[in-house]
Amino acid sequence: MGLKSQPLLILTMLTLVTASAFAYELQTTGESGARLRWPGATVELAVSESFDESSNIRGADQAYEAIARAARAWSSVAGIEIVLSRSKELSVSPPGRRGDGVSLITIAQTPENLLLFTGPNSGRPAVTRLFFDKKGRILEADIVLNPYFSTSTDGSLGSFDLESTLVHELGHAIGLGHSAVFGASMRTNVARNGLYSLPFTSARTLSRDDIAGARALYGPDDSDGACCGSLSGSVGRAPGDESEVFVWLEEKETGAVGSMTRANDSGEFRIDGLEPGAYHVYSRDAAHGAAYLGQIEVKKDVNSELMSKAGSTAGRSLLSGVGFNGQLSTIAVPVNAGRSFKIYVSGTGVLTDLELGISAPGIEVDLSSIEFPDYGKEVSVTAFVVDVEGSVPEGEYTLRLFRDGELVDCIVGAITVERLPNPWSHREP
C-alpha cells in the first residue's frame, strides 16, 4: 500500500465515526413543570409478543431475559420496582392527554409505531413516549424500538444491543432525562455494536450518575441504608454569558465521576441521590472549558452547599471527543482494570503543548507513548497509552487537559472501567 492511499483511509475512518453515534429520543405528552415520576413504588410494563416474532432481533430467544435484566438494573439500585408481563398488544398509544392505560415495550412494525421513526427520528434506535398529569405524575410509558433497525442480544456486529437500549429507555420510562456524562447509560448518544471494533454493551451497566438520577426520584433501594445526600450551590457566570454550564462531582478517593447536572441561567444547581463521601466538584461550559470549584463532604439526608465564583474561566473548550482502535466518537472508551489500552482524544487547536491526565489515581498516562496521528485539518488528535491498575474500581473517569499545571478542559466520563472484557489490550502492564 503506497503512501498516497493513506489520506483516503483516514477519511473513511472519520466517516465511519460520524455514522456510529445515534441520538436517543424522548417524547413527552402533557404539560408539567414538575419533575416526572411514578406516584407509586411499582411500575408495570407489558412486553409485546412482537419481540418473539420480529425477524430483526438476532438472538431473539434471549430477548425477554435481556429486557428483564435491564429492568432489574434500575430496580436493584432505587426504590422502584419494574414488573414485567407479556402482552399481545403491539402499538404505542397515540399522542394525547392519556394513553390506553397499558405501558408497553414493543418492536412491532405497525403503522402507529412506524410513525415514530419518520423525519429527524428516522435514525433513532428507540423512542419512549411518556404520559403524565399536571403534577408530573407519570401515567403511562410506552417504549418503541425502531422496527427497521437490527437489534441483538448477542453483540452481533452492526446491530443495536437490546439490553443497553432497554436500560436507556427504561430510564426514561421512570422519569429520567439525558446525562451529559460520557459512559452513562442515560447519555444522549448510542453506538451500534462494532464502534471501536467492540460490542456496545457498556450501557448495560448503570453509571453512578444514572444511579444518582434514579435515587433522586425514588430514593435508594432497601439494601442501601447509607444513601443519600445532596449538593446544591452556584457557579460564577460572566454577565451575558449564555453558554450551558455543567457541574459534576468526582469521588475524592477513586476519581470516579459521581454525578453531573446542568446549572440554570443564574448558575444555580442541585444534585440529589448522592452516595455519602468526600468529592471534588468541577464545572465546564462548552465555550470556556473546565474549572475546579472545590471539595465537599456529602452526608446522608443532608444538603451540602457549595458557592463558587469560579466556573467562568478565561480559557476556551478544546476537547470534543475520544476514540479507540483508530475511530473517534463521543462514546466512552471501555477499558478493564489491570491492563493497558491505547486511547485517542480529539479537539480543536493545538493539543501538543498540553498535558493529559485521567481523574483516577490508578490510571496512568504513559508519557512516552504520546503521538499525534493526522486526521486532517479539521481536528487535532492525540493518542496515548493508559495503564489501568488492577485496583481501579468500575466507573466513569474524566480525561483532563492541563496547561502549565492549570486545568483547561475535560471530557467527563471519557473512560469507563468495566468488567465486560475489552480484548484490545495494548500490552500487559
Kindly list the residues in this chain that would bind Zn ion in the complex (CB under 5 A).
24, 26
Given the complex with Zn ion, which of 26 and 191 has the nearer CB atom?
26
For 212, phi and psi rounded to 5 degrees?
A: -60, -40
CB of 129 to Zn ion, least distance (A): 12
CB of 419 to Zn ion, least distance (A): 24
CB of 190 to Zn ion, least distance (A): 8
The Cα 337–Cα 360 span in angstroms is 12
Given the complex with Zn ion, which of 150 and 185 has the nearer CB atom?
185
Residue 178 identity (one-letter amino acid)? H
Coil vs helix vs strand at 229: strand
- The answer to whether 394 touches 365, Cβ cutoff 8 Å, is no
Given the complex with Zn ion, which of 28 and 303 has the nearer CB atom?
28
CB of 210 to Zn ion, least distance (A): 12
Given the complex with Zn ion, which of 172 and 342 has the nearer CB atom?
172
- Characterize the bridge pairing of strands 303-307 and 229-234: parallel
Q: Which residues, other chains included, contact 249 with Cβ-Cβ below 8 Å and sequence gap of 6+?
A: 231, 257, 258, 259, 260, 271, 274, 279, 280, 281, 282, 296, 298
CB of 65 to Zn ion, least distance (A): 23
- The answer to whether 192 touches 20, Cβ cutoff 8 Å, is yes
CB of 178 to Zn ion, least distance (A): 6
- The answer to whether 245 touches 284, Cβ cutoff 8 Å, is yes
Residue 239 identity (one-letter amino acid)? P
Given the complex with Zn ion, which of 178 and 400 has the nearer CB atom?
178
Q: Which residues, other chains included, contact 20 with Cβ-Cβ below 8 Å and sequence gap of 6+?
A: 191, 192, 194, 195, 327, 329, 331
Given the complex with Zn ion, which of 180 and 360 has the nearer CB atom?
180
- The answer to whether 298 touches 233, Cβ cutoff 8 Å, is no
Residue 305 identity (one-letter amino acid)? E
Record the cell numbers describing residue 383, joined without a space: 493518542
- The answer to whether 394 touches 418, Cβ cutoff 8 Å, is yes
Given the complex with Zn ion, which of 24 and 344 has the nearer CB atom?
24
Given the complex with Zn ion, which of 26 and 306 has the nearer CB atom?
26
CB of 175 to Zn ion, least distance (A): 12
Q: Which residue minimizes CB distance to Zn ion?
A: 24
Cα distance between the two ends of the chain: 33
Given the complex with Zn ion, which of 162 and 399 has the nearer CB atom?
162
CB of 104 to Zn ion, least distance (A): 17
The Cα 305–Cα 366 span in angstroms is 37
Closest Cα to residue 389, out of 426, 367, 417?
Answer: 417
CB of 187 to Zn ion, least distance (A): 8
Given the complex with Zn ion, which of 26 and 138 has the nearer CB atom?
26
For 191, phi and psi rounded to 5 degrees?
A: -115, 155
CA distances from residue 287 to 135, 238, 305, 312, 409 in whole angstroms, order as listed: 35, 12, 26, 9, 10
CB of 117 to Zn ion, least distance (A): 14
